Amino acid sequence: MLEKWPAWLLIAIGVAAFAYLWRQARLADAAQGWPSVAGRVESSALDWRQRRGGDNSDAREYRALLAYRYEVAGQRHLSTQRRIPEPGFSSNRALAEQIIQRYPAGATVQVYYNPARPQQACLEIGVHWSVRAGQLIALLFIAAGAMLLRG
């Protein structure tokens, strides 16, 4: 049984990743039916970090940092979530800059909010292709683990 631990690890990682992405996809799907209100972008900036990896390069990864305010039923809310799930860092600086240009500080934006939890909101609705790609990769982990178990 101990010799099968890599297979079980692959399966566990695949199942956990698929479950997480499934929940995120369901929430992103649900957001398409959320009501919307006008909001205001409070800040919009380019964030970066050194790329992680063993090559010790000076490569950077980028993301757009947004913060926006909106009001639901007299309650003011602040959110930083552009989409569900929130994209992380990318090596594509131009993409991050395009997002910043699309949502400049001071701009009026349409904010989609969860009517059951108005503090949960996003600016862009729909399931992003990367969620589906992640689910496919998670299924490949599960399949690889199952193949290793069969030996």
So what's the pLDDT on residue 77?
98
So what's the pLDDT on residue 106?
98
**Helix-strand-coil percent breakdown of the chain, rounded to 5?**
40, 30, 30
So what's the pLDDT on residue 120?
96
Judge contact between 123 and 109, C-beta under 8 A.
yes
So what's the pLDDT on residue 4?
86
Judge contact between 43 and 66, C-beta under 8 A.
yes
Judge contact between 60 and 52, C-beta under 8 A.
no
What does each of the 151 residues of the chain score in pLDDT, given as a tens digit?
567 888 899 999 999 999 999 998 898 989 999 999 999 999 999 999 987 666 656 688 999 999 999 999 999 999 999 999 888 888 899 999 999 999 999 999 999 999 999 999 999 998 877 888 889 999 899 999 999 888 7
The encoded tokens of residue 149 equal 């178990």
So what's the pLDDT on residue 57?
67
Nearest to 109 by CA among 118, 119, 99, 117: 99
pTM: 0.79
β-strands 60-72, 108-114: how paired?
Answer: unpaired
So what's the pLDDT on residue 59?
85
66: exposed, middle or buried (Cβ count in 10 Å: 0-12, 13-18, 19+): buried
